[in-house]
Chain A
Amino acid sequence: MPSTPAIILFLPLAVAAFVLLASKGFKLNATVCALVSTASVAITLVLSLALIFGAKSDSPDEVVKLFTWADFGSLQLEINATLDRLSRGMLFVVTFIGTLVHVFSLGYMKDDAGKARYYAGLSLFMFSMTGIVLADNFAMMFIFWELVGVSSYILIGHWYTKDSAADAAKKAFLTNRIGDFGFMIGILILFGATGSITFAGVEQGLTAGVLTGGLLTAATLCIFCGAVGKSAQFPLHVWLPDAMEGPTPVSALIHAATMVAAGVYMLVRVSFLIGVSENAATIIAYVGGFTALIAALMATQQDDIKRILAYSTLSQLGYMVMAVGLAAGEAAMFHLFTHAFFKALLFLGSGAVIYACHHEQDIWKMGGLKDKMKGTFATFAIGTAALIAVPFTSGFFSKEAILEAALHHDMLLFLCAAGVALLTAFYMTRLVVVAFFGKARTGHSDHATEVPMIMLAPLMLLAFLSIFSGYSIIADTLSPAAVHSEFNLAIFLTSLGALIAGAGGAWILYAGKDKDPLNIGIFRNKFYFDELYSVIIKFAQDKFAMVVSAVDDLFIDSLCVNGISRAVNGFGLLLRRLQSGNLQGYAFVFGLGILVILYIALINT
């Protein structure tokens, strides 16, 4: 009987293979495939709940050995499952949101031609994500890290006939590759220094002090590169907004709740590393804070409902990364969990809106939806409340924890975080006011009707958790450590002030408007990062390519390749002449060979 973690890990893989083969090879009905996939993720949810409730409060962290992938003597690549509070909590979040997204997709993707492929992709993603959560060593983490990248590529590019989707998939994959490359170098440095790739082994090595100073900082920052790519931190944040080309449930699952959080999860996993490298920790905190700020600024001027949420995700991820850098890993995880619930809710809610408005995504072409889609509006409002940290929602508590960490460590970052909180309240209120209030601006929103129950039910569940997952009874089960801090008036007032200023400002500016009264080009155009990158890449690439091409022509082609190939060809032809087909000649070569070897053996040595 395979162990529970083994089933949680490998069931989705088996289902992905089954769905793909059955739908392609045996023409199995796509709806059946979708149901199989949904059932499998529900099973993993039940099993991960069993893991949480099966664990006693003092049960030790354990590593369940699954199998050895390869054994190179000193280097063993193992696929194992770590079970501790961190992984159990994360496992629940991943499987729970995964289940809801699978269910929601039953409605959202009902008539999609590639439904079976879509569900195979989702199952593959669940497998990869579970692998990251369970990993007990860097190699396994890296393998699944890449697998997550692949499944994300597949799902972003689900509508691959659309150029923008195909391009976005490519962009996401390539941008991630840059981060992953750093990640790999980091792993190699750590392996080289400590001789181990397991987290425990590396931690031991660091405690013994085999790696210190600049190299330690470099290794930590390289590992951080992985998180920069996957969690879309500055300067690799550019892929996430474009990734919204994928189906909306995918955005909710991958690009809001789970995969992008993997970077934060990984950083918390290796927090022993960040703990000993102070310089790296500071850099990480500032990268997070900076990302949070610029992303929030960009979000204020977007018109596409999913893009607003995407920038908001960037900004919230920045919060978490900042918390990790401030040595407040448990606050980061707390915010990760609450954010996973309310952001998945917001994305699925936006999916419902988009579905109802016949795939219209521009908020200025919506309006007046609050009366036509009452259920969706109510849940969306709850999600928004959590995100903008209305007191006593889950987001309020988790943001509080991060603000407190910032206040104790670094005033600049605290101010930055407070500013982000204000901006968050501003752009979310803008979104809600423009999309749901006022009057319908186009026919699409005029004819919108409430979505079916299969899509609404997941929203309600998530809305429930968006409110209550901040309270100890849920939060303490999920988070790696107790997170509720003492009430701090200064933070409470800052937070409340930011909320009122942001939401109030947006209400005054946007209530009853038909087009955007503000027009700030630099925010709207995302600080011109995409343009900047393409100029840099184009310039650098062109010049570099020119040099390379010159070297290639002069040196490599004419000298090395052609020279060698001429030499080799000549040599080959000579050898060919040797192979005359003449038997006596062969016997002669044979005999000559023996004589030469005998000469070397007997006389020359």
Chain B
Amino acid sequence: MGNFLEAPYLLEAVVVVLGLALLMLEAFLPKADKRLVAYIALFGLAGVLVASFNMKAPENLEHSFWSFYATDNLAFFYKNIAVLATMLVIVMAIEYTPVLEKYVSQGSKQGGLGEFFCLPVFVCAGLMWMASAKEFITIFVSLETVTISFYVLVAYMRRNVGSLEAGVKYLILGALSTGFFVYGVTWVFGLTGETHLEKIGIALQGLEGSDSAVLFAFTLILVGLGFKVAAVPFHVWVPDVYQGAPTPVTAFLSVGSKAAGFIVATRILQPFLEMERLHSSFTTILVIVTGATILFGNFAAIPQTNFKRLLAYSSISHAGFLLLALTCTPDQFQLTPGQVVAFYLATYLLMTMLCFLVLTIVRRSTESDEIAAFSGLHRRSPFLAFALLIGVISLAGVPLTAGFLGKFFVFTLAIDSGRWILLAFAVVGAASGFYYYLKVARAMYWEEPTELAAIEISPLARLALLLLIIATIVFGVYPAPILGLLTN
């Protein structure tokens, strides 16, 4: 099996071991500052990130193991996204500790806090495994590893009604969607006798008749995926859960869960879309879901006054743009929809994390998530205001930021495939994005602050913000490094 130390699955194994070790550490050192766990997790994940560039795909793929574990560029790319997102979430969690202490701790000051830093590591392992999964059982197991960890994380602040309510909603609707997803998988299995995506593709090509059954299975699977990526009408959980969950978890849901949903969608939709007979039916369904998602996400964001909830709708609208890429069958454009989605998600990671990190810090000092809490932020902390400004203009898609290029590629893809109606929707959506994102910028720079005390930022958070700002601008001007990871 080639050089054992270069085998890519080692990455996941190391992350799981790291998670277990952190749990042990937390259990055996009850007196220590729980943030120690977080710092160790950060270092461990940084090591994994560095190591992931050293991993090689095995040359001999005949071993049965590789039939359900993908080692292509896309897999590595999503693994990197997962590790980076987890690290940023842990940085955020460290900043969020005072809030957690208030709503979680019993007895001692930091009682029951340790797991909050360990669970993201397990989520990370699930996300990384999912990036490589190309077989339904593997996909399902890794998806559930992630989802179940999220159930716990969302409801983590047990003395906070909002968090508990969000947890219950997420659990029930999540279970519902999982049910549909598995049901769809069983239909596919019944039709083709396979769980392996490549083989399903071949079997579907040879399938005669039973069109309705294939469409039925496709729809059911789409429900499950739609739930993960927050596509309309399976987005209903998003606003409430995002608002109620602890902010770092919201960020994780927004980036990690979405990335996971899209890598799985990229892989699962492929065998279906390759079926020429039903291609147009599949795309019709996708196009309808996409159109609804773009319009709903953007329009519903307009009247929001709570920044966290605004970001929830923003997450839905970005899901719409990403789905738009997946509906495309490019003619000349040299990036595949899968690569465009991956690129978009990478930029989305940067700008969303930027916003959530600032939100976490502001939340800690103002105890509010409302947009009003950001009034006059530039006078209290010019650095935070600038960071958030970069974040929101990138989300809106202003040129020379990473967010612009993501949208640019999606739009180019849509033009190339002739998706004119969706493109019109997307243009309207992107335009309204300017309105609701810049509302935050207006509050920060043109409104009077309610108090003037400066906001403190820890060195770690400052470093993370600085790196995110630089990355957002640099990749907006010079995207070649990211594209290089995807294409070469």
Of chain A, the residue at the smallest CB distance from B292 is: A593
- In the complex, whether B204 has a CB less than 8 A from a CB of chain A is no
Task: Give A163 Cβ to nearest chain B Cβ, in Å.
Answer: 26
In the complex, A594→B177 CA distance in Å? 10
- Of the residues A73, A583, A600, A602, contact of B333 by C-beta under 8 Å: A73
Asked if A589 meets B285 with Cβ closer than 8 Å, knowing A70-B480, A572-B302, A601-B218, the reply is: no
Task: Give B240 Cβ to nearest chain A Cβ, in Å.
Answer: 6
In the complex, A68→B487 CA distance in Å? 15
In the complex, A598→B217 CA distance in Å? 10
In the complex, A74→B331 CA distance in Å? 13
Question: Chain B contacts of A568 at CB under 8 A?
Answer: 299, 302, 432
In the complex, A600→B215 CA distance in Å? 10
Cβ of A600 and Cβ of B288 under 8 Å apart? yes
Question: Chain B contacts of A594 at CB under 8 A?
Answer: 180, 219-220, 223
In the complex, 10 of the A-B residue pairs with CB atoms within 8 angstroms, ordered by the A residue number, are A68-B480, A73-B332, A571-B299, A576-B300, A590-B234, A597-B285, A600-B285, A601-B284, A601-B285, A605-B215
In the complex, A74→B296 CA distance in Å? 35
- In the complex, whether A592 has a CB less than 8 A from a CB of chain B is yes
- Of the residues A573, A590, A600, A601, contact of B173 by C-beta under 8 Å: A590
Question: Chain A contacts of B218 at CB under 8 A?
Answer: 601
In the complex, A250→B233 CA distance in Å? 62
Cβ of B296 and Cβ of A589 under 8 Å apart? no
Cβ of A605 and Cβ of B284 under 8 Å apart? yes
In the complex, A421→B1 CA distance in Å? 84
For A60-84 the 0/1 string (1 means CB < 8 A from B) is 0000000011111110000000000
- Of the residues A70, A74, A576, A602, contact of B332 by C-beta under 8 Å: A74
- In the complex, whether A581 has a CB less than 8 A from a CB of chain B is yes
- Of the residues B215, B299, B483, contact of A601 by C-beta under 8 Å: B215
- In the complex, whether B172 has a CB less than 8 A from a CB of chain A is yes
Residues of A whose CB lies within 8 Å of any CB of B are 68-74, 568-569, 571-573, 575-576, 578-579, 581, 583, 586-587, 589-590, 592-594, 596-598, 600-602, 605
- In the complex, whether B212 has a CB less than 8 A from a CB of chain A is yes
Q: Which of B222, B281, B303, B483 is most buried by chain A, counting CB atoms within 10 A of its CB?
A: B303
Of chain A, the residue at the smallest CB distance from B332 is: A73
Task: Give A596 Cβ to nearest chain B Cβ, in Å.
Answer: 8
In the complex, A136→B338 CA distance in Å? 34
Cβ of B299 and Cβ of A575 under 8 Å apart? yes
Question: Chain A contacts of B302 at CB under 8 A?
Answer: 568-569, 572
Task: Give B25 Cβ to nearest chain A Cβ, in Å.
Answer: 37
Q: Which of A68, A569, A572 is most buried by chain B, counting CB atoms within 10 A of its CB?
A: A572
In the complex, A602→B214 CA distance in Å? 10
Cβ of A587 and Cβ of B239 under 8 Å apart? no
User: Count the B residues whose beta carbon is within 8 Å of the partner chain — how many?
Assistant: 42
Asked if A600 meets B332 with Cβ closer than 8 Å, knowing A586-B237, A592-B233, the reply is: no
Asked if A583 meets B222 with Cβ closer than 8 Å, knowing A568-B302, A602-B215, A605-B281, the reply is: no
- In the complex, whether B258 has a CB less than 8 A from a CB of chain A is no
Cβ of A579 and Cβ of B236 under 8 Å apart? yes
Asked if A590 meets B480 with Cβ closer than 8 Å, knowing A74-B332, A575-B300, the reply is: no
Cβ of A69 and Cβ of B478 under 8 Å apart? yes
Cβ of A586 and Cβ of B223 under 8 Å apart? no
Task: Give B340 Cβ to nearest chain A Cβ, in Å.
Answer: 13
Cβ of A583 and Cβ of B234 under 8 Å apart? no
- In the complex, whether B168 has a CB less than 8 A from a CB of chain A is yes
Task: Give B108 Cβ to nearest chain A Cβ, in Å.
Answer: 34
In the complex, A593→B230 CA distance in Å? 13
Within 8 A of A (CB), among B210-250: 212, 215-216, 218-220, 222-223, 232-234, 236-237, 239-240
- Of the residues A579, A590, A592, A597, contact of B239 by C-beta under 8 Å: A579
Question: Chain A contacts of B280 at CB under 8 A?
Answer: 605
- Of the residues B216, B334, B412, B478, contact of A598 by C-beta under 8 Å: B216
In the complex, A601→B168 CA distance in Å? 31
In the complex, A578→B289 CA distance in Å? 17
Of chain A, the residue at the smallest CB distance from B487 is: A71
Q: Which 8 A-B pairs have the closest CB atoms?
A: A593-B233, A586-B236, A73-B334, A572-B303, A575-B300, A601-B215, A605-B281, A572-B302
In the complex, A83→B296 CA distance in Å? 55
In the complex, A592→B169 CA distance in Å? 18
Task: Give B256 Cβ to nearest chain A Cβ, in Å.
Answer: 22
Cβ of A601 and Cβ of B281 under 8 Å apart? yes
Question: Chain A contacts of B478 at CB under 8 A?
Answer: 69-70
Of chain A, the residue at the smallest CB distance from B177 is: A590
Q: Which of B219, B232, B333 is most buried by chain A, counting CB atoms within 10 A of its CB?
A: B219
In the complex, A307→B151 CA distance in Å? 74
